[in-house]
Amino acid sequence: MIDRDLESIQEARDLVGRAYEAYQAFSRASQAQVDNIVEAAARAAEKASEPLARAAVEETGMGRYEDKIAKNLFAAVDVKNYILPLKTCGVIREVPEARIKELAVPMGVVVALTPTTNPTSTAIYKALIAVKSRNAIVISPHPRATKCVVSAMETMQQAARDAGAPEDLMLAMRIPTLDGTQELMRHHHTAVILATGGTAMVRAAYSSGKPAYGVGPGNVPAIIERTADVPKAVADVVAGKNFDYGLLCSAENSLICDRPVVEEVRRELKRQRAEFVPPADRDRLRLAMQDPRTGGLNADIVGLPATEVAQRAGISVPADTRVLVLECATVGRSEFFSREKLSPVLAFYVEDGWEKCCERSIELLEFGGLGHTLVIHSNDEHVIQRFFEEKPAFRILVNTVAAVGAVGITTGLAPAMTLGPGTWAGSSTSDNITPLHLINIKRLAYETKPYRAIDAPDEGRVAAAVGVGAPVPDEEVDAIRRAVEEFLAERRARKAR
């Protein structure tokens, strides 16, 4: 029997080799050719958004079918509409006053790791931004989401090929194992890695020896400050927590409520069909959600609806419950519900004043979402500005649904499924990743400041080596020469003594 890991390693080598040949053939494509291929691939993904969503839910057992359609359409339509106008071929910028031209150069083979939580939408997005920048791409899907990712890539590759793309521009592994994925990342033809997923996978990408863009957990705090439009704020938080059953890393994970509006927030949560879990049922829910071996999250409850999570914990809730809410007072390992939960389960904190809300949000981010995203619901511009300036997150969202606002659906942020958390979280960028992150820039620079070498003293003048300043007068040169000669004579005399 053939070892599966060896099969995976061999597949990784074969796929990167094929992708590298495709990249070489594609690297000199014109902007018009690239855009035509991107348009064709995106159109095919758009048409397949519904069957791909169904396939993702059936294969992974995670998430809400209707929301996965929305995510696929976001990747195929919104991302495409944003990236198509970008110039990624030829001279992309000229600076006449500096006599500089900038030329876009593709990186090569992009290796992309996609998560089980958002498999097809992430594959569509990463394939489009890679091809837009004239790269080839090979995806290593999560083992529990292999078939749907392969289907997405084959759908786009067929359309791209019909539009003139090389045969192997967009590929996906069919036998993804840890060893195979590591071979993929470390292959000598791999140029850059796009890693979306768990902390261990992102760390593996950064330790591969290749340039990498990675994003891990979000653990997003949502603050409802006393000046907020409470009904809208609560509706936004519940919508974000329930979207695809909490699978986006940008989903709200904790609600921090300013004390003066706490009763109104509680009423609105109830109206939005968010159910507070009684203290007596708290441990039952924790045991159902916690992995007994690691103390982390039990993968079996990830992406399930709130009613099913409650059922697995033996908790009775109304049949129309959208979100389970747990009242919390601390953050850290001793409070299980203060972590990222990847399900429609929301921690609920009450603090008095925006400063205390701020402190709690920092605790939550430092515990598991540093650099990622924070959302504040407020109508006080001073408070909003303070959060913008001081909180350790690179996406400070205001009065919107964090889950979809961070990726650019309800905000003007660059539409993306990979959201860099910056150096605070060990990432090389704090940006939403676009095709411009997948090109090298070559610069042509003409001389603008002529170089002038220092003339020999006996020629009578000294010029500035960098080409600025007037020649030194002959009398000054003579004075410098005499001073040097006097100094050397004195030193020789001291040695003689």
The answer on pLDDT for 207 being more than 90 is no
Q: Find the Cα–Cα–Cα–Cα dihedral 398, 402, 407, 412, rounded to 10°.
A: -20
What is the structure's pLDDT at 214?
Answer: 84
Partners of 395 in the β-ladder: 373
Instruction: Work out the percent of the chain whose per-residue pLDDT is above 70.
Output: 95
Reported as a pLDDT band with limits 50, 70 and 90, residue 1 is low
Higher pLDDT, 475 or 127: 127
pLDDT averaged over the chain?
A: 93
441 φ/ψ angles, rounded to the nearest 5 degrees: -115, 120
The answer on pLDDT for 423 being more than 80 is yes
This prediction's pTM: 0.89
Mean local confidence (pLDDT), 429-433: 95
**Per-residue model confidence as pLDDT tens digits over 446-463:** 999 999 887 655 544 444
Distance (Å, whole) CA 111 – CA 101: 29
SS3 assignment for 371-431? EEEEEEECCCHHHHHHHHHHCCEEEEEECCCHHHHCCCCCCCCCCCCCECCCHHHCCCCCC
Reported as a pLDDT band with limits 50, 70 and 90, residue 67 is very high
Q: Find the Cα–Cα–Cα–Cα dihedral 133, 139, 144, 147, rounded to 10°.
A: 90
From the list 89, 249, 328, 358, the catalytic residue is 249
> Nearest to residue 400, comparing CAs of 249, 251, 254?
251
What is the structure's pLDDT at 454?
Answer: 75
Mean local confidence (pLDDT), 301-326: 97
- Edge-to-edge strands of the sheet including 371-377? 274-276, 323-327, 345-351, 252-258, 220-224, 371-377, 393-398
The answer on pLDDT for 206 being more than 90 is no
**Per-residue model confidence as pLDDT tens digits over 8-26:** 999 999 999 999 999 999 9
What is the structure's pLDDT at 376?
Answer: 98
Class of domain 220-413: alpha beta
Residues 6+ apart with CB under 8 A from 320: 273
Identify the CATH number of the domain defined by range 4-216+434-443: 3.40.605.10
The answer on pLDDT for 464 being more than 70 is no
Mean local confidence (pLDDT), 167-172: 97
Q: Which helix (H) or strand (E) holds 186?
A: helix 178-186
What is the structure's pLDDT at 445?
Answer: 98
Reported as a pLDDT band with limits 50, 70 and 90, residue 7 is very high
3-state helix vs strand vs coil in the chain, percent to 5: 50, 20, 35
Distance (Å, whole) CA 81 – CA 341: 32
Strand-strand pairing, 100-106 and 90-95: antiparallel
Mean local confidence (pLDDT), 132-143: 97
What is the structure's pLDDT at 496?
Answer: 63
Active site residue 328: no
What is the structure's pLDDT at 453?
Answer: 81
